């Protein structure tokens, strides 16, 4: 594979020479700036061989680099071996950002190229600003990489379907009215949306064009009295088209979005989100552009009381599936069966598939034993996986998409003997997770500032981790949603403030390269705490229901309050799940929720 990657980079360099381009940038993106991409848009994967969900490749005549954060350093080291592509560890001291590297290495008046369909407006403007001193010429309207990809997959064209009652709490008409009210406040005549989860939420529609995320390729245009949905022909059947028409939604061909934008009156004003609209599409927007966060992004993050009640039910279903899985796993280990990381993925997906309203996994299962668990986004593949044998720690991060909610959970379980150092790491992570679980904070509090709560118990023990502690989670939508993020290195913006109804992950971790990884993750919801003359406060309700393995705990490191929280959590897990399981799964649940 390394030789193939070398050949592809060489082909790109030849194309760059023909077009007199000094540097070519390949981000992980598509025209909708999605995190998870249809195979058609996975140019960075094709060019570099690196399969992580994020990362940017940049190629010059004598250098090729992949910029990626700490979640993927171990994976990238393996996948880039012998390719000639250098791993640039984003965030590590002394490692320049991509823009900084370009400033330091490009000559004045160099030419930099990228596909404008794969770069956000804000990102493109930042690139232009950072390279301004070099008087760089940008080439972005022609994709020179596309002709090199001879076996490129086709765009997905799966059918679109409606997310219906009883699982929705707001109609299309109500959601459109909410968005139009925000447009009115912003004095916008039009609002253009490209982000797939925003569109799916706004129109109460779902699809399967993107693996793990129930979304579909589309753009949308909204005005005071029009709503246009741009989708590929044939994706919406006659019955759904009629239902949409009743709510004033027009259907137009996916490829007509640019021409429709170009035909809008020049005097019109348009609201766009510069982080969720590409440079290519922004060029066709009205001259009077209002740059704000998509209103749907904020509305979507605040689940209604009815939504949360559905999610609680989904968590019980998911917890029951996990009880069945772990009961099987421990019994198989006891019998001496040979189990691989791939087997774990198969079994955990099969257990979820037996639950009501299950649709698909919410992301690729991460099942990493010992050293593999030290790679936060590791994925076992048929050509590269480990067996669960010997002593150590097994990290399993998995999730499901249900019609009534999206789940994401990480648990670490012991295999054979567990060392004192492994128990220390595990307990430190658990302490951090518990501290954040107990947070009480004012409404509209910056989400990023909560990160310190999870890290303090770990910093006290000399430990830390490179990724954020929490990401937003959708409601039968993307497992990574936002806009809130619990990460102390994240920028503080008003749209990231904590609102009632938001669902966020709580997942601190510790990773020892080549040895083991520990991450414990629950999903939590923002619910009212109390309101006094001093503060109107929110707190976290823990949504996830699955035992946390107590065999890995060093009890001497835990406080009385932390033990009480864990015992209370396990009592709630038992209460909520015991009627949903039976036999071996029930016996396992009762054993693993015993108080310590």
402-422 per-position pLDDT tens digit: 999 999 999 999 999 999 999
Q: What is the pLDDT of residues 50-96, one digit of tens each?
A: 998 889 999 999 999 999 988 888 889 989 999 999 999 998 889 99
Spatial contact of 193 and 296, defined as CB atoms under 8 Å apart: yes
Q: What is the third-level CATH fold of 2-148?
A: Creatine Amidinohydrolase; Chain A, domain 1 (3.40.350)
Can you tell me the distance from the alpha carbon of 262 to that of 488, in angstroms, rounded to the nearest whole number? 41
161-301 is a CATH 3.40.350.10 domain: yes
Spatial contact of 432 and 458, defined as CB atoms under 8 Å apart: yes
Contacts of 328 (CB under 8 A, 6+ apart): 347, 351, 584
E strand residue ranges, 279-362: 288-291, 358-361
Can you tell me the distance from the alpha carbon of 125 to that of 498, in angstroms, rounded to the nearest whole number? 28
Can you tell me the distance from the alpha carbon of 581 to that of 302, in angstroms, rounded to the nearest whole number? 31
Q: How far is CA 463 from the centre of its chain?
A: 25
> What residue spans define the domains of the chain?
2-148, 161-301, 305-592
**What's the pLDDT score for residue 284?**
81
Angle at 306 between CA 303 and CA 309, to 5 degrees: 95
**What's the pLDDT score for residue 540?**
98
**What's the pLDDT score for residue 152?**
95
Can you tell me the distance from the alpha carbon of 89 to that of 91, in angstroms, rounded to the nearest whole number? 6
3-state helix/strand/coil string of 126-141: HHHHHCHHHCCEEECC
Same fold, 2-148 and 161-301: yes
Residues of the chain with pLDDT under 70: none
**What's the pLDDT score for residue 71?**
80
Can you tell me the distance from the alpha carbon of 273 to that of 483, in angstroms, rounded to the nearest whole number? 12
The CATH number of 305-592, from 3.90.230.10, 3.40.50.10790, 3.40.50.300, 3.60.20.40, is 3.90.230.10
Q: DSSP string of 159-224?
A: PPEE--TTS-SS-HHHHHHHHHHHHHHHT-SEEEE--HHHHHHHHTEE--SBTTB-----EEEEES
Q: What is the pLDDT of residues 134-180, one digit of tens each?
A: 999 999 998 999 999 999 999 998 999 999 999 999 999 999 999 99
Q: Please report, for residues 201, 248, 286, 341, the alpha-carbon distance to residue 224 in angstroms, rounded to integers and kept in the order given.
A: 19, 11, 16, 52
Is the preceding omega at residue 166 within 30 degrees of 0, hence cis?
Answer: yes
Helix axes 560-577, 420-437, angle to 10 degrees: 80
Closest of 244, 243, 553, 228 to residue 422, by C-alpha: 553
């Amino acid at each position: 594979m390394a030789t193939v990657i070398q050949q592809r980079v060489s082909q790109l360099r030849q194309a760059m020479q023909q077009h007199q381009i000094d540097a070519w940038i390949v981000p992980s993106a598509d025209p909708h700036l999605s995190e998870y991409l249809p195979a058609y848009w996975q140019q960075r994967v094709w060019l570099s061989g690196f399969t992580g969900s994020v990362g940017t490749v940049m190629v010059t005549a004598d250098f090729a680099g992949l910029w990626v954060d700490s979640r993927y350093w171990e994976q990238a080291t393996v996948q880039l071996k012998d390719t000639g592509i250098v791993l640039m560890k984003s965030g590590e001291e002394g490692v320049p950002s991509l823009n900084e590297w370009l400033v330091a290495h490009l000559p004045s008046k160099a030419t930099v190229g990228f596909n404008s369909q794969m770069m956000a407006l804000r990102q493109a403007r930042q690139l232009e600003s950072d390279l301004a001193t070099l008087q760089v010429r940008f080439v972005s309207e022609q994709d020179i990489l596309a002709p090199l990809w001879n076996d490129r997959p086709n765009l997905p064209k799966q059918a679109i379907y409606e997310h219906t009652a009883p699982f929705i709490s707001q109609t299309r008409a109500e959601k459109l009215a909410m968005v139009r009210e925000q447009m009115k406040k912003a004095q916008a005549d039009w609002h253009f949306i490209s982000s797939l989860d925003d569109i799916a939420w706004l129109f109460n529609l779902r699809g399967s064009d993107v693996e793990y995320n129930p979304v579909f390729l589309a753009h949308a245009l909204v005005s005071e009295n029009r709503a246009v949905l741009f989708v590929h022909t044939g994706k919406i059947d006659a019955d759904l088209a009629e239902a949409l028409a009743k709510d004033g939604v027009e259907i137009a061909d996916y490829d007509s979005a640019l021409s429709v934008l170009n035909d809008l009156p020049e005097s019109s004003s348009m609201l766009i989100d510069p982080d969720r609209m590409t440079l290519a599409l922004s060029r066709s927007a009205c001259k009077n552009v209002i740059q704000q966060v998509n209103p749907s992004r904020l509305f979507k993050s605040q689940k209604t009381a009815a939504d949360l009640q559905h999610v609680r039910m989904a968590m019980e279903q998911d917890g029951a599936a996990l009880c069945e899985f772990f009961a099987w796993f421990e019994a198989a280990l006891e019998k001496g069966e040979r189990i691989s990381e791939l087997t774990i993925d198969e079994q955990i997906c099969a257990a979820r598939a037996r639950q009501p309203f299950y649709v698909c996994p919410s992301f690729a299962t991460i099942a990493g034993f010992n050293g593999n668990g030290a790679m936060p986004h590791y994925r076992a593949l048929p050509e590269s996986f480990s067996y669960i044998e010997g002593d150590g720690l097994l990290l399993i991060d998995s999730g499901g998409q249900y019609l009534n909610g999206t789940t994401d959970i990480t648990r670490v379980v012991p295999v054979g003997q567990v060392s004192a150092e492994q128990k220390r790491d595990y307990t430190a992570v658990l302490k951090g997770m518990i501290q954040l679980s107990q947070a009480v904070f004012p409404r509209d509090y910056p989400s990023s500032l909560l990160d310190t709560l999870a890290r303090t118990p770990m910093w006290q023990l000399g430990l830390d981790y490179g990724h954020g502690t929490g990401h937003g989670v959708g409601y039968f939508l993307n497992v990574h949603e936002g806009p809130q993020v619990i990460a102390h290195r994240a920028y503080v913006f008003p749209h990231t403030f904590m609102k009632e109804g938001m669902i966020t992950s709580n997942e601190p971790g510790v990773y020892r390269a080549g040895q083991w990884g520990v991450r414990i993750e629950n999903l939590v919801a923002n619910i009212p705490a109390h309101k006094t003359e001093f503060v109107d406060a929110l707190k976290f309700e823990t949504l996830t229901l699955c035992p946390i393995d107590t065999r890995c705990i060093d009890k001497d490191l835990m406080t009385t309050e932390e033990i009480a929280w864990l015992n209370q959590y396990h009592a709630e897990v038992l209460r909520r799940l015991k009627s949903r399981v039976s036999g071996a799964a029930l016996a396992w649940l009762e054993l693993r929720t015993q108080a310590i």
